[in-house]
Amino acid sequence: MNPKRTIGDVILEVEDIALSFGGVRALSHVSFGVREHEICSIIGPNGAGKSSMLNVINGVYHPQHGHLVYRGKRIRRMHAHKSARYGIARTFQNIALFKGMSALDNILTGRNLMIKSTFIEQAFYWGRARSEEIAHRRRVEEIVDFLEIESVRKVPVGRLPYGLQKRVELGRALAAEPQVLLLDEPMAGMNVEEKEDMCRFILDVNDEFGTTMVLIEHDMGVVMDLSDHVVVLDYGRKIADGTPEEIRDNQQVIDAYLGVAA
Amino acid sequence: MTAVDIAEDRVQVRQSDSHDRVHGSPVDELDTFPKLLLNHALQRGDKPAIREKDFGIWQFWTWRQMADEIRAFACGLADLGFQQGDKLAIIGDNRPQMYWAVAATQCLGGVPLPLYQDAVAEEMAYVLNDADVRFVVVEDQEQVDKVLEIKDRCPLVEVVIYDDPRGLRHYYQPFLFSLTKVQEAGRGYDHTHAGFFEERVATGKGEDVGVMLYTSGTTGKPKGVMLTYDNFIITGRNGILREGLQEDEEVLAYLPMAWVGDHLFSYAQSYVAGFCVSCPESAETVMHDMREIGPTYFFAPPRIFENLLTQVMIRMEDAGYLKRKLFHFFMNHARRVGTAILDGVAVPVQDRLLYALGRVLIYGPLKNVLGFTRIRLAYTAGEAIGPDIFDFFRSLGINIKQLYGSTEASVFVCVQPNGQVKPDTVGTPAMGVEVRVTEDGEVLFRGPGVFHSYYKNPKSTEETKDAEGWVHTGDAGFFDEDGHLKIIDRAKDVGKLLDGTLFAPKYIENKLKFFPHIKEAVAFGDGREYATAFINIDLEAVGNWAERRNLAYSGYTDLAGQEAVYDLIQDCVEKVNADLAKDAQLGGSQIKRFLILHKELDADDGELTRTRKVRRRFIAERYADLIEALFSNQSSHAVEAQVKFEDGRTGTIRANLNIRNSERFGIAEMRKAS
């Protein structure tokens, strides 16, 4: 039973983006739109430019051509810190957590932007620092509860199995209370059970918090099940864009994945 | 007058006419759990009644708050059409809301029916139908999905109530309600129906059926055991008196609610004595939560103690040289004098002093790590516990005792008395309980906890409970010279070898399982020339052992087939044989041949019950060819087995199993030697 979610208007538009590294063209003139509350998957063979696309959206890479439109605002040059303030959070393909810190502390770092108290207040645990800490901790505990990682709360992240690290990373992204969440291969390297869990968390996040999601994923079963909207890239070009059903029947997509008969 | 005083008063009455009570003439007016609840709300309204760790913080409800919640819940159920005598199934982890469901049902004169939350859909459907369940209370989406899956097959189920709304926002089934909504409606109903709740609670009587618990079904389909308020209140109170439990006990409720023990320890006794019960944050955090709560009264099946000991030992191997030496030195000392000190036996002063030093350096910190610092009393039951494990914990000064009980007895049949704990017996009859052994060795009991009847099954009721109230346990056992009961096996499983030697498979299996390297064992030999066994190795323990020896392995099947592992297990088997040889009656049933199974016995494959008891007949059928191989001269046998993976797929495991012969010992010889 697929829940009936209310998908809104387009909130994030990628317009005519071109990105190259020296002579390598990572993205050439890609445009697509992401609607509010939807789950949008970007798929494509290796080297198609999927991660580059996410990096452009949250301002890690700066495209040579094109721009982003976020909530009606045209952004020529996105920066990582700007995207965070806009409410765009992300997770990484190769987990980027603080290995020596506990799961709890890692998730707390996601609250960084929302901390108002000064360094001095924090050092003495005084004034705003106190009430803030309690409020943030509460929010983090809600995420811990949501992602069912109570048992590893205090465990240094480096000691956790891979699937749980991915979950903690998702938790950190959620801690920022994002409006748009970019997930770079959230299920890579997981076994079937872990994948199922992760799918459920993604759906639940989307459902409970109404978060718009853009994700990169290789597992077609997962993509077709989860997504409202699929964008297919191949050699840096967009070759298809539509609902999972449309993509499944698209000849160009099939050719890109299976090769074309000579 | 505090509730404890009241309890003592009542028990004076009970002792003078305990038999009248058995046959149902309750004297005091607090004869049901709802009445006890309302009384606690008055007597100790501001004391914590139940605790739960949520969002990383222990949150609690006082007796008054809990009574309010339960009242709203009950009225909400009434609003949904719940009638007196209706059954309400409860499926979920140990959560305050799930325990409230039990009490709310009882307030309305209904019968709560806790189920095992990990039961597969078929088992659940069978029980829901068998018990004519109309209402189901579940914990979360997972259980809602399971109930929806079987809803078509359970036409009687009318209402499903869930506690955790997560993920259920888009479920629009008209029979699905959130607990919050039900309670909200209940508060309204309570308002418009003044006096309804009080009247319903007052209607309940001690001899009414208070709860229905399904037996796990080692044999055939599970049966619904109906137990009355009297059963649990009197049994609970007797237990409290015998052990001197107080109203300030701390208990962690972490075992399945469908298990009779949890119902007695975490529900009945809490209501009787007025102590607070804590619910862990999740199944994975139990050990951590236990450390935080520091229970004073604890119960666990032997495998939990076993796991704890295994973990301690594995972690000690990784500890530094000095710590390891200290640990072993003081543990050896504890093994020598610890249990004696606990039992109050005279011990030389220097040993006492050394033990006191050990307490500061080793025992105290170790108990703290395990969360056992404050334990006054711990019970273990369900299976026999290994003497090594048992002594380990007792030598640390933890008063763990074995009890022998059953669902049909509301737990207690026999308990080991303080100071007279013998590892291989289950102690003396519990307060108010009479125990008898028939000529053919079956154990019978009679007492205040004896169940009302099996639901809709008068035939089984008659077979189990005779006219005089004696319950046939189906267990074979005998009383030793001190009047302690010793259980050897299920009466029907006790067989004979061809030469007439007594063959008690469970007795042998338990001895095998006491070795940390052996997880499960199944012995065969009835009507055969000699005894043989299947072995399941313990992947964690043997895996660790293999790692330390640089033995590479890819998984269970690979590890189980290795020669070195066979050597290790053979050593265990031969030790068991030596042990068996000491027993005149059972000495002839030493294991001649054994094999290590290529897969772990699993409840999902129907080989074990949900409480992890071996389903002997099923295994005998399924592995008939392997058993034949054991009784032939083959030294190996090829197998192929279907397995069900956790995601529901099935697959096949192929392996070539070795069969080993093990040395057996002469019975007389051993006796001379010892």
Residues of A in contact with B279 (CB under 8 A): none
Instruction: Quick: pLDDT tens for B75-89.
Output: 999 999 999 999 999
CB B161 within 8 A of CB B179: yes
> A3 to chain B, minimum CA–CA distance in Å?
5
Share above pLDDT 90 across residues of chain A, in percent, rounded to a whole number: 38
**Which of B147, B142, B146, B141 is CA-nearest to residue B170?**
B141
pLDDT at B71 over 60: yes
Residues of B in contact with A204 (CB under 8 A): 166-167
pLDDT at B423 (0 to 100): 81
Position B587, amino acid: G
pLDDT at B216 (0 to 100): 67
CB B32 within 8 A of CB B204: yes
| Residue the block writes with tokens 């520091």 | B294
Can you tell me the ipTM of this complex? 0.76
Would the CB atoms of A150 and B169 count as touching at under 8 Å? no
> B55 to chain A, minimum CA–CA distance in Å?
5
pLDDT at B172 over 70: yes
Tell me: do B162 and B311 sit in the same domain: no
Residues of A in contact with B163 (CB under 8 A): none
Q: Determine the Cα–Cα distance for residues B622 and B640; give it in Å rounded to an integer.
A: 11
Tell me: do B79 and B184 sit in the same domain: yes
**Which of A112, A110, A77, A196 is CA-nearest to residue A148?**
A196
Instruction: Quick: pLDDT tens for B493-510.
Output: 888 888 878 888 888 898
pLDDT at A92 (0 to 100): 85
pLDDT at B412 (0 to 100): 93
CB B201 within 8 A of CB B34: yes
Taking residues B531-541, report their average pLDDT: 91
Asked whether residue B155 is assigned to any structural domain, the reply reads: yes
Position B150, amino acid: I
Would the CB atoms of A1 and B169 count as touching at under 8 Å? no
CB B572 within 8 A of CB B518: yes
Would the CB atoms of A1 and B170 count as touching at under 8 Å? yes
Question: What is the three-class DSSP state of B609?
Answer: coil
Other Cβ atoms closer than 10 A to B612: 16
Tell me: do B502 and B560 sit in the same domain: yes
Mean residue pLDDT across chain A: 88
pLDDT at B218 (0 to 100): 54
Instruction: Quick: pLDDT tens for B312-371.
Output: 888 888 889 999 999 999 999 999 999 888 888 888 999 999 999 999 999 999 999 999
What stretches of B268-370 adopt beta strand conformation (E)? Answer: 276-279, 297-299
Band of the pLDDT at B11, cuts 50, 70, 90? Answer: very low
Instruction: List all residues 6 or more positions away from B62 whose beta carbon is below 8 Å from its beta carbon.
Output: B45, B46, B47, B48, B49
Q: Determine the Cα–Cα distance for residues B502 and B494; give it in Å rounded to an integer.
A: 7
Position B619, amino acid: I
Would the CB atoms of B55 and A3 count as touching at under 8 Å? no
Would the CB atoms of A4 and B166 count as touching at under 8 Å? no
Alpha helices in B267-320 (DSSP H): 269-273, 286-293, 302-317
- The enclosing domain of B203 has a CATH number of 3.40.50.12780
Write out the two tokens for B227: 């137990």
CB B430 within 8 A of CB B238: yes
pLDDT at B24 (0 to 100): 36
Tell me: do B178 and B272 sit in the same domain: yes
Tell me: do B35 and B142 sit in the same domain: yes
Residue B248 structural domain: 3-10+30-299
Taking residues B147-154, report their average pLDDT: 93
pLDDT at B56 (0 to 100): 87
Other Cβ atoms closer than 10 A to B468: 7
Would the CB atoms of B285 and A3 count as touching at under 8 Å? no
> A195 to chain B, minimum CA–CA distance in Å?
11
Top residue of A2, A6, A151 to mutate, by most chain B CBs within 10 Å, is: A151
Asked whether residue B43 is assigned to any structural domain, the reply reads: yes
Tell me: do B189 and B78 sit in the same domain: yes
pLDDT at A79 (0 to 100): 87
With an 8 Å Cβ cutoff, the interface of chain A facing chain B consists of 1, 3-5, 137-138, 141-142, 144-146, 148, 150-151, 153, 192-193, 196, 200, 203-204, 207-208
Band of the pLDDT at B90, cuts 50, 70, 90? Answer: very high
Tell me: do B312 and B167 sit in the same domain: no
Q: Determine the Cα–Cα distance for residues A244 and A247; give it in Å rounded to an integer.
A: 5
**Number of domains present in the structure of chain B:** 3
Question: What is the three-class DSSP state of B443?
Answer: strand
**Which of B558, B566, B568 is CA-nearest to residue B659?**
B566
Burial B327-359 (b: 16+ CB within 10 A, else e): beebbebbeebbbbbbeeeeeeeeeeebbeebb
Asked whether residue B472 is assigned to any structural domain, the reply reads: no
Instruction: Quick: pLDDT tens for B295-319.
Output: 999 999 888 898 888 888 888 888 8
Q: Determine the Cα–Cα distance for residues A213 and B203; give it in Å rounded to an integer.
A: 56
pLDDT at B474 over 70: yes
Domains of chain A: 1-87+178-262 (3.40.50.300), 98-177 (no CATH)
Would the CB atoms of B284 and A138 count as touching at under 8 Å? no
- How far, rounded to the nearest angstrom, does the alpha carbon of residue B464 sit from its chain's CA centroid? 21
Q: Determine the Cα–Cα distance for residues B18 and B447; give it in Å rounded to an integer.
A: 9
pLDDT at B538 over 50: yes
pLDDT at B428 (0 to 100): 93
How, if at all, do strands A73-75 and A65-70 pair? Answer: antiparallel
Triad B141, B147, B151: Cα angle to 5°: 140
Would the CB atoms of B285 and A150 count as touching at under 8 Å? yes
Band of the pLDDT at B673, cuts 50, 70, 90? Answer: very low
Q: Determine the Cα–Cα distance for residues B520 and B536; give it in Å rounded to an integer.
A: 5
Asked whether residue B460 is assigned to any structural domain, the reply reads: no
Q: How far is CA B99 from CA B146, B484, B486, in A?
A: 20, 35, 35
> A236 to chain B, minimum CA–CA distance in Å?
37
Asked whether residue B16 is assigned to any structural domain, the reply reads: no
Would the CB atoms of A3 and B57 count as touching at under 8 Å? no
* B148 → chain A, closest CA residue: A1
CB A198 within 8 A of CB A167: yes
Instruction: List all residues 6 or more positions away from B69 whose beta carbon is below 8 Å from its beta carbon.
Output: B61, B100, B183
Tell me: do B322 and B286 sit in the same domain: no
Would the CB atoms of B167 and A193 count as touching at under 8 Å? no
Asked whether residue B485 is assigned to any structural domain, the reply reads: no
pLDDT at B167 (0 to 100): 81
Write out the two tokens for B393: 């914990």
* Burial class of residue A72 in the structure, from the number of CB atoms within 10 Å of its CB (0-12 exposed, 13-18 middle, 19+ buried): exposed
Share above pLDDT 90 across residues of chain B, in percent, rounded to a whole number: 54
Q: Determine the Cα–Cα distance for residues B28 and B18; give it in Å rounded to an integer.
A: 13
**Which of A236, A231, A177, A240 is CA-nearest to residue A12?**
A231
Given B299, B315, B332, which residue is the final one in a domain?
B299
CA torsion through residues B112, B115, B121, B126, sign: negative
CB B229 within 8 A of CB B452: no
Q: Determine the Cα–Cα distance for residues A231 and B524; give it in Å rounded to an integer.
A: 62
**Which of B501, B668, B656 is CA-nearest to residue B592?**
B501
Q: Determine the Cα–Cα distance for residues B612 and B513; give it in Å rounded to an integer.
A: 13
pLDDT at B667 (0 to 100): 65
> A189 to chain B, minimum CA–CA distance in Å?
17
Band of the pLDDT at B652, cuts 50, 70, 90? Answer: confident
Q: How would you classify residue A66: left for phi > 0, otherwise alpha for psi between -120 and 50, otherwise beta?
A: left
| Residue the block writes with tokens 């039900």 | B182
pLDDT at B16 over 50: no
pLDDT at B602 (0 to 100): 85
Position B483, amino acid: G
Question: What is the three-class DSSP state of B661?
Answer: strand
Q: What are phi and psi of B629, to 5 degrees?
A: -60, -35
Instruction: List all residues 6 or more positions away from B157 whose beta carbon is below 8 Å from its beta carbon.
Output: B128, B133, B134, B135, B136, B147, B151, B175
Share above pLDDT 70 across residues of chain B, in percent, rounded to a whole number: 93
Residues of A in contact with B167 (CB under 8 A): 200, 203-204, 207
Count Cα neighbours of B369 within 13 Å in the Cβ-side half-sphere.
12
Instruction: List all residues 6 or more positions away from B24 whose beta carbon is below 8 Å from its beta carbon.
Output: B206, B207, B228, B230
**Which of B595, B588, B585, B624 is CA-nearest to residue B498?**
B588
Residues of A in contact with B54 (CB under 8 A): 145
CB B287 within 8 A of CB B119: no
pLDDT at A146 over 80: yes
Instruction: Quick: pLDDT tens for B416-426.
Output: 998 888 888 89
pLDDT at B131 over 80: yes
Instruction: Quick: pLDDT tens for A212-230.
Output: 999 998 888 888 889 999 9
3-state DSSP: chain B helix, strand, coil percent, rounded to 5? 45, 20, 35
Query: Which of these ranges, B54-63, B142-151, B171-180, B381-390, has the smallest mean pLDDT?
Result: B381-390
CB B403 within 8 A of CB B416: yes
pLDDT at B3 (0 to 100): 39
- The enclosing domain of B509 has a CATH number of 3.30.300.30
Would the CB atoms of B56 and A204 count as touching at under 8 Å? no
> A5 to chain B, minimum CA–CA distance in Å?
9
Of B55, B282, B285, the CB nearest to A142: B55
Asked whether residue B595 is assigned to any structural domain, the reply reads: yes
Mean residue pLDDT across chain B: 87
Taking residues A49-68, report their average pLDDT: 90
Instruction: Quick: pLDDT tens for B254-308.
Output: 999 999 999 999 999 999 999 999 999 988 889 889 999 999 999 998 888 988 8
Tell me: do B284 and B332 sit in the same domain: no
B328 versus A118: which is more confidently predicted? B328
Determine the length of chain B: 674
Burial B163-183 (b: 16+ CB within 10 A, else e): bbeebbeebeeeebbebeebb
Instruction: Quick: pLDDT tens for B613-623.
Output: 888 888 988 88
Q: How would you classify residue B316: left for phi > 0, otherwise alpha for psi between -120 and 50, otherwise beta?
A: alpha
With an 8 Å Cβ cutoff, the interface of chain B facing chain A consists of 54-57, 166-167, 169-171, 281-282, 284-285, 288, 646-647
Taking residues A117-133, report their average pLDDT: 83
Query: A–B: how many Cβ contacts below 8 A?
Result: 42
pLDDT at A112 (0 to 100): 82
Q: Determine the Cα–Cα distance for residues A113 and B427; give it in Å rounded to an integer.
A: 63
CB A78 within 8 A of CB A57: yes
Tell me: do B284 and B322 sit in the same domain: no
> B412 to chain A, minimum CA–CA distance in Å?
34
Tell me: do B351 and B215 sit in the same domain: no
CB B125 within 8 A of CB B311: no
Tell me: do B366 and B306 sit in the same domain: yes
Would the CB atoms of B170 and A142 count as touching at under 8 Å? no
Given B299, B330, B359, which residue is the final one in a domain?
B299
Top residue of B52, B58, B163, B170 to mutate, by most chain A CBs within 10 Å, is: B170
Q: Determine the Cα–Cα distance for residues B28 and B26; give it in Å rounded to an integer.
A: 6
> B368 to chain A, minimum CA–CA distance in Å?
18
Band of the pLDDT at B235, cuts 50, 70, 90? Answer: very high
Using the 8-state DSSP alphabet, how is residue A73 labeled?
Answer: E
Given B395, B426, B450, which residue is the final one in a domain?
B395
> B289 to chain A, minimum CA–CA distance in Å?
10
pLDDT at B632 (0 to 100): 87
Taking residues A97-126, report their average pLDDT: 87
